Protein backbone atom coordinates (compact mmCIF):
# COMPACT_ATOMS: atom_id res chain seq x y z
CA UNK A 1 0.00 0.00 0.00
CA UNK A 2 2.94 2.35 0.48
CA UNK A 3 3.02 3.35 -3.20
CA UNK A 4 -0.61 4.41 -2.88
CA UNK A 5 -0.42 6.56 0.26
CA UNK A 6 -0.38 9.75 -1.82
CA UNK A 7 -3.57 8.72 -3.58
CA UNK A 8 -5.24 7.68 -0.32
CA UNK A 9 -4.48 11.07 1.24
CA UNK A 10 -5.74 12.74 -1.94
CA UNK A 11 -8.99 10.79 -1.57
CA UNK A 12 -9.19 11.88 2.08
CA UNK A 13 -8.88 15.48 0.89
CA UNK A 14 -11.82 14.97 -1.45
CA UNK A 15 -13.88 13.51 1.38
CA UNK A 16 -13.06 16.41 3.70
CA UNK A 17 -13.90 19.07 1.14
CA UNK A 18 -17.17 17.47 0.07
CA UNK A 19 -19.88 20.01 0.87
CA UNK A 20 -22.31 17.19 1.73
CA UNK A 21 -19.93 15.53 4.22
CA UNK A 22 -21.28 14.67 7.65
CA UNK A 23 -19.82 13.74 11.03
CA UNK A 24 -19.75 10.03 10.17
CA UNK A 25 -17.48 10.75 7.20
CA UNK A 26 -15.21 12.93 9.36
CA UNK A 27 -14.95 10.15 11.94
CA UNK A 28 -14.16 7.60 9.23
CA UNK A 29 -11.52 9.82 7.64
CA UNK A 30 -9.77 10.56 10.92
CA UNK A 31 -9.94 6.88 11.84
CA UNK A 32 -8.45 5.91 8.49
CA UNK A 33 -5.62 8.39 9.01
CA UNK A 34 -4.97 6.88 12.43
CA UNK A 35 -4.98 3.36 11.01
CA UNK A 36 -2.51 4.41 8.30
CA UNK A 37 -0.32 6.09 10.89
CA UNK A 38 -0.40 2.99 13.07
CA UNK A 39 0.44 0.77 10.10
CA UNK A 40 3.03 2.93 8.36
CA UNK A 41 4.42 5.05 11.20
CA UNK A 42 7.09 7.48 10.06
CA UNK A 43 5.94 7.30 6.45
CA UNK A 44 2.76 9.12 7.45
CA UNK A 45 4.52 12.03 9.19
CA UNK A 46 4.86 13.98 5.96
CA UNK A 47 1.14 13.69 5.33
CA UNK A 48 0.30 15.38 8.63
CA UNK A 49 1.29 18.70 7.10
CA UNK A 50 -1.28 18.27 4.32
CA UNK A 51 -3.89 21.02 4.69
CA UNK A 52 -6.80 18.58 4.37
CA UNK A 53 -5.37 16.24 6.96
CA UNK A 54 -4.83 19.15 9.34
CA UNK A 55 -8.36 20.41 8.69
CA UNK A 56 -9.85 16.98 9.42
CA UNK A 57 -7.89 16.53 12.63
CA UNK A 58 -8.65 20.08 13.79
CA UNK A 59 -12.36 19.67 13.12
CA UNK A 60 -12.36 16.36 15.00
CA UNK A 61 -10.58 18.03 17.93
CA UNK A 62 -13.48 20.49 18.11
CA UNK A 63 -16.09 17.71 18.02
CA UNK A 64 -17.54 15.51 20.72
CA UNK A 65 -15.44 13.43 23.12
CA UNK A 66 -15.30 10.43 20.77
CA UNK A 67 -14.04 12.55 17.88
CA UNK A 68 -11.45 14.28 20.09
CA UNK A 69 -10.19 10.95 21.38
CA UNK A 70 -9.92 9.66 17.81
CA UNK A 71 -8.09 12.81 16.67
CA UNK A 72 -5.56 12.55 19.53
CA UNK A 73 -4.97 8.87 18.73
CA UNK A 74 -4.51 9.74 15.05
CA UNK A 75 -1.95 12.42 15.84
CA UNK A 76 -0.03 10.02 18.06
CA UNK A 77 -0.20 7.21 15.50
CA UNK A 78 1.14 9.46 12.74
CA UNK A 79 4.00 10.96 14.73
pLDDT in tens, 42-54: 888 888 888 888 9
pLDDT at 46: 84
pLDDT at 38: 92
The DSSP string of 1-51 is -GGGHHHHHHHHHHHHH-TT--HHHHHHHHHHHHHHHHHHGGGGGGGGGSH
Structural domain boundaries, residue 41: 2-77
Residue segments in the chain with a per-residue pLDDT below the cut of 70: none
Total domain count, the chain? 1
- pTM for the whole structure: 0.89
Distance between CA atoms of 20 and 66, rounded to whole angstroms? 21
Amino acid sequence: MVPFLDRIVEFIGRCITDKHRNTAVLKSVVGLLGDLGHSFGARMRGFLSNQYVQAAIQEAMEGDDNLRTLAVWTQQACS
